[in-house]
Every structure is written in C-alpha cells, then in structure tokens.
Amino acid sequence: MKPKILFLSFTLAWLAFNVKAQTTINLSAADNPKAPVISKYIYSHFAEHLGRGIYDGFFVGDTSKIPNTNGVRNDVIAALKKMKIPALRWPGGCFADTYHWKDGVGPKDKRPAMINKWWGGTVEDNSFGTNEFLNMCEVLGADPYISGNVGSGTVQELSDWVNYVSSDSKNPMSDLRKANGREKPWNVKFWGIGNEAWGCGGNMTPEYYANEFRKYSTFMTSWNNDSKIYRVASGASVDDYHWTETLMKNIPRDLIEGIALHHYAIIDWSHKSSATKFSKEEYFKTMKSTLFMDTLVAKHSAILDKYDPQKKVGLVVDEWGGWYDVEPGTNPGFLYQQNSMRDAMIAGSTLNIFNNHCDRVRMANLAQCINVLQSVILTQGDKMILTPTYYVMQMYNVHQNATLLPVAIASENYVLGSGKLPAISASASRDKDGIVHITLVNIDPDKTHKISINVSGKKFIKVTGSVLASASVNDYNSFEDPKKIQPKTFKDVDLKNDGIAINMPSASVVVLTLN
C-alpha cells in the first residue's frame, strides 16, 4: 500500500472512531399539549420505624437540647424543605403490618410499648405516632402517604384511621382526634393498603391479596372526602409480572388508584458489598441492577396498559434505592449505611427513568430518608450531614410538575471486562415559565464522555449548568468532612446554533438550564 493511501486509511479510521466515540442526544423542545407532566410525587421519600430513621433521625423529642419544633429536628426540617420533599411514606415498610395506630395517639405516657420484631427487636414506645407524623408533614409542606396495616390489622381499624385523620363530621374517630388536640382534619390523600403482601405483609398469593384489597378499599372512606382518597395496592417484588396482572385483572377500577412496585439496586441478597469500599466489579453490578428499573417499569406499565388503557391507575414505586452491608459495628437490623457517589449515580439514573415513564409513574419513594439505606440525611448526635443523594434530589427538583420533553439517546458504553452498560442517561422537561432543564448522568467511573445534544423545536440563547462529581466513585461526605461532595457550577458546556456540546466528567450528575 502506498504511504499516502495508508495515511488516508488511518485518518479515515481515526475519524470514524472519534465520530462513534460520542453520545448523541436528540431533544425535542417543541410545544406538545398532549405531553405528560412529571409528577412532583416522583421525588417523594420514605420514613419507616426502623433503626435511627424516626427516633434520632427525624424525632428527638421536645426536651432535647438539639433545636427542634415539637420534637422534630429543625436542621432536618430546613434541609428537607430546601430539597422540596413532596410526600413522605410512613410508618413502613414491614413495620406497617405490625403497627396498630391507636397505640400511637393520645397522651404519650399512656401509649403502650411494642417490640419492633422486624428491625432489631428494639422497644418502640409509640411516642411518634399519627399526630406527630401528620403535624411534621404540615411543617415540611409534604403530603403524607400512610401505609395501612392489612397483615395483622382489620378492616375496621383501617377505616377508623381514615376517619381519624380525614373526617370532618361528628363521629367517634373525629371526636377522638379532637380530644387529642387536633380540631381540623389533615385530609390525608395517599393510602397504601398493606405493604409487600407477598412477603412480610402476610405471605399472600396475588389472588388472595386482590380479594383482601377489594374488601379493605371498599371501607376506606371518610364519607365526606371520598374523592381525596388515593388507594395504592401492595404491588410486585421486582419482576413478578404475574402479581401485577392478577391485581389488575381482579380489582375493579373504582376501588384502586395506584399499584406499587419495589426494586432495590443490589448485587445479591447474600452479598451486598460495602457502602464505600466496593470494587469496580461490585460497582458495575450495582449499576446493572439500577438500570434494570427501566425494564421493570416498562413491563409492569405494559400490563397496566392492557387493563387500563386510559392510564387512570398510577404505578407507584414506593421503595427503591441502593442496599448494602451495614456500617461496621452497627446493629444489622438498623440498615445504616454510608452514601457515596455510587448512590448519586443510582439516584440520577433512576430518576431519569421515572421521568421518562411519567405517563404511568405517578409517585416514587426513595428508601429511606434519614439514617436508613440510601438516605439523603445522616445524623450523629447534634450533627447532620447531607449525602450525595440529597444533592441529586435537590438538583433534580426542577422537574417537579414540569412537562416532559422527549429525548432519544445513542449512548457510548461503560465497559468493564466483557460487560457493558449505557454510560449516559438523560431526561428533560419544560417548567411553567418555559425554561428547559436537562438532567444527565455519566455512570462511567473512569472516563469523561463527549455528549452532543441536538435540540429541535425551539431556539435557546443561554445555557448554564451545575455538576455533582468527585475524584472517586467511592467518595462520600463524612461527619469529619461533611462538604467533600457538593454541587458546583458546570462550565464544560457550549451552546451552538445546532445544539449543545458537553464534556461530562466521569461518575457525575449534570443539570443544564436552557433559556
């Protein structure tokens, strides 16, 4: 081969490689009156009576030296309000189907104690009950989502609970609420009818649970607030599509508003990995489990579409997040784990999935809010730190109640050995003021990725951005170094006539604002 031809061949090969070595995103910013809205409730959270989630997390008691409002930490209140928490699920989890709400109301010195059989065998004194939770939600500006006891409770018990919190007519339960110091009802909208009925909620078959749901749902009314009840069925564990099909086939549409789904990003239940000292192989497997959420949501949604083409029943992913080994020296039943940049990758990737499926996903609840699993806040005595996951949730809150904009991604791969995953995920929306936001995640821990975003339908004159990144995907905020990881201004972005060019750092989350 002649030298000139050889040189030309190498040049063409180099150009071809470099054209491919780029992620391309096509974004349509054109107005579409039929476009779905990203429900703010996708950014909701979960607080179970588990470990230090409630006590020593949210609640320290009104005699604590830690600044508080009616026993709830002021620093926690401020942080969650800044994050714009839209809803909070309580009291479980597995705990919900052992919880009898009347034990947690009235004078605290008369409330009976119980053993938390699911989580560490600790004594629960019921000092944080219905009134405390609902009053806290009011302070936070968050809607409460109560999980009712179906596993060990009764229809009457759950019906009474609905009346206690939502009835404004004279009846024994509204009278009890008033006797306990609350005149006006809280009007709770969101109700879970049991939790994980296939497991800790009763080990039921889907056929049996469908009948139980029909019975409980029938009596879940405050008689004067029927239209405000949003009843969520205990849904499938991961890829149990038969469970979803059975419920949708057997529950009338006038008795159900939502159906749940639970999936955790986990390597294996027998090998969860350290929260911070994980290997590259463990990181890859965790991200593979994370991205599986897209398949789960799509397949469960297809079943819902089959029985509910009008999309009246929402998919409620009310438990999701990373699950690892507990921190060394802590109670195994408390599920306390640190929160690294890996968790930021889980959060950003998962939220992009939920956003892009917002025509069916109406709520999602990160597990859990404080000191348990993938927390947004960790506390230690009077100290409080915000985790990388907190900052992702805060950065992404621009999508709350915004109109979804469709994106099509041709992503480079993140490769480890013979395995490969899409390196880049994204979602986009336009808010009520016409501002467009694009959220991007690069899960590749070793490589900066070039991204080209082609925008059609609108012209923009300015782009700004913020980025969450660190030197290593294993990095985390500690009580010794609480501000190691925080969002910073993102400058490696260029707005051109035909789109946007980005150099996205390894293991990073970026939010772009287009004006």
Cβ–Cβ < 8 Å for 336, 325: no
d(CA 211, CA 425) in angstroms, rounded, equals 40
Cα angle 439, 490, 399; round to 5: 25
- On the question of a cis peptide bond just before residue 206, with omega within 30 degrees of 0, the verdict is no
Contact between 479 and 446 under an 8 Å Cβ cutoff? The reply is no
Q: Say whether 245 is catalytic.
A: no
Q: What are the C-alpha distances in Å from 95 to residues 46, 166, 180, 182, 324? A: 12, 23, 24, 25, 20
List of residues 6+ apart from 16 with CB closer than 8 A: none
Written as six digits, the tokens of 58 are 């949210």
- Give buried/exposed letters for 119-148 (b at 16+ CB in 10 A, else e): beebebebbbbbbbbbbbbeebebbbbbbb
Indicate which residue of 48, 132, 257, 319 is catalytic.
Answer: 319
Which one from 48, 196, 212, 412 is the annotated catalytic residue?
196
Q: Is residue 48 annotated as a catalytic residue, yes or no? A: no
Question: Would you state the structure tokens that stand for residue 278, as one six-digit string?
Answer: 């994980």
5 Rama sector, left if φ>0, alpha if ψ -120 to 50, beta otherwise = alpha
Tokens for 254, please give them.
């006038």
Q: Classify residue 3 by burial, with Cβ atoms within 10 Å: 0-12, 13-18, 19+.
A: exposed
Q: For 117, which DSSP code?
A: T
Read out DSSP for 298-345?
A: HHHHHHHHHH-TT--SEEEEEEEEE--PPPTTS-GGG-----BHHHHH
Hey, what's the torsion of the CAs at 479, 480, 485, 488, to 10 degrees? Answer: 110
Rounded to whole angstroms, the Cα distance separating 467 from 93 reads 33
Sign of CA pseudo-dihedral 276, 281, 285, 291 = positive
Q: Are 476 and 339 in contact, with CB atoms under 8 Å apart?
A: yes
- Determine which helix (DSSP H) or strand (DSSP E) holds 217, and give its type and residue range: helix 206-218
Please tell me whether residue 268 adopts helix, strand or coil conformation. strand
| Backbone φ and ψ of 214, nearest 5° | -55, -40
Tokens of 165: 């919190």
Sign of the CA dihedral with 75 first, then 46, 142, and 62 last: negative
Rg (alpha carbons) of the chain, rounded to whole number: 24
CB neighbourhood size of 406 (10 A): 14
Element (H, E) at 177: helix 172-179
What distance in Å separates the CA atoms of residue 119 and residue 282, rounded to the nearest whole number?
26
- The residues annotated as belonging to the active site are 196, 319
